[in-house]
Amino acid sequence: MEKIRFAAAAVLAAAVAFAGVAAPVNAAMVGFYGTYGAGEASGDLEDWQGGGWDWDSDTEHTGFGFALETPAGFYRTSYRLGIGWERIVGEGENGRPDSTLEGLVIDNDLTYDLFASPASRFWIGPELRLGFFNGSLNDAASDDRSFFAAGIGPVLGFDLALGPSAALSWKVGYLYTWYYGDEDSWDAGCSSGHGCYYDDYYYDESEMDGGHAYVSLAVYFRLWGPPHAQPQPGTYQPQGRW
């Protein structure tokens, strides 16, 4: 958990620094988002004896966080950054127990406008994810472990300018993500009556992969940057109204 807290602090500091650099050049928008998704995942665990098992589960994803976009308006392309907290609950199949992971996610979207007007736009783009989670896969070990995650997938979005300083943004997408355990763990059952020796299991090479579809809603507020003198025709231009 300390690793996750340190990573979260470092990423937030980097985001603030990035926003400060981008602000004098182009308008930027910042805000907050919430997200919900569902999908499927599969994984495997190996113990010190070379054994282990494979498993499948249905997953539910919930999260919230901070959002930033730059430049805002007058461009067909933009960069979006989402930094948030996500909880993943897996419902085990074939009698396996449930599992839970939660931690920091960093989502990066490169958007391209398919349709745009001064008040709205419809866009598409790839999304790249990095994640730092803590928890257990299928409750295989008694102690929680840390996991690094990397994901990629397509995303579609719709933005609507609300007035002089705010906008709503809906986003739907699909992410395929890989999760890798970055440390080993022990599970001591001590149920045999011979002490813990015969019931200690050492787990390594824990990993999981899976995809999930999701929808999110963000509220953005424009902070910096004056409107450009001559916006390009057919581009999202909320600043023209602001």
Instruction: In whole angstroms, give the CA distance from residue 128 to residue 169.
Output: 18
- Indicate which CATH number applies to the domain containing 80: 2.40.160.20
Residue 100: domain span: 2-240
Burial (Cβ within 10 Å: 0-12, 13-18, ≥19) of residue 4: middle
Instruction: In whole angstroms, give the CA distance from residue 10 to residue 183.
Output: 21
Structure tokens at 100: 């839970």
Number of domains in the chain: 1
Structure tokens at 53: 């098992």
pTM for the whole thing? 0.74
pLDDT in tens, the chain (242 residues): 445 444 544 555 455 444 444 444 456 889 999 999 999 988 776 655 555 567 788 999 999 999 999 876 567 888 999 999 999 998 866 656 578 899 999 999 999 989 888 788 899 999 999 999 988 776 555 567 788 999 999 999 999 988 767 899 999 999 999 998 765 544 444 444 444 443 444 445 578 899 999 999 999 998 765 444 445 555 555 543 33
Cβ pair 103, 84 in contact under 8 A:
no
